[in-house]
A = this chain, B = another copy of it.
């Protein structure tokens, strides 16, 4: 799918988009949702879904790849290699939250190894680790902090933040910054009162 041969006609391309969005919306609430239901939600005949995606599996794979590509772009846009670590973290967090709130299903389970999405996923993780290393060198993280645990916690916090923004669909810029701040702040300082300096 996706990179399959000839360009699609404009309306077909629109169908693909609509189906992907509907699938995300449905599968988010019920991972067992039917192709029938997805088609209906997309305002399209079931046959059309099968025309655009060889199988249910292929549909989900396309969703996953698409979502991870957006995540990768979101991370890159934060200039993880050059921006000051705290800035990069905040910016990346905000960007990723934006994407993640829209692809909660597709990004839910980590892509199975071997898949194209897994490659992108690994790239993103690598960049994430770079930022964390830079953050540690800048004194933002403890020297002795377990890098794996740090990343794990960070990703979990992002997940939770994206989850809590389930209600508000559009997620304005202000909300994004507030959420990102909360994530970073919790990650770095936890929820205990700040010690007097």
Contacts and interface: CB of A to CB of B under 8 A. Distances in A.
B195 A195 contact: yes
A130 interface: no
Interface residues of A, number: 32
Contacts of A174: none
A190 B186 contact: yes
A34 to B, nearest CB: 14
Interface in A103-141: 139-141
Interface in A128-159: 139-143, 145, 148-150, 152-153, 156-157, 159
A3 interface: no
A164 B148 CA distance: 10
Interface in A16-40: 31
A14 interface: no
B193 A190 contact: no
B153 A193 contact: no
Contact of A192 (B163, B189, B193): B189
Given A160-B153, A164-B149, A187 B191 contact: yes
Nearest to A193: B142
Nearest to A163: B152
Contacts of A188: 190-192
A79 interface: no
A143 B194 CA distance: 11
Nearest to A141: B191
Interface in A158-197: 159-160, 163-164, 182, 185-197
A182 B149 contact: yes
A9 to B, nearest CB: 35
A144 B84 CA distance: 29
Contacts of A145: 191
Pairs of residues from A and B, 6 with the lowest C-beta to C-beta distance, nearest first: A190-B190, A188-B192, A189-B190, A156-B156, A188-B190, A152-B160
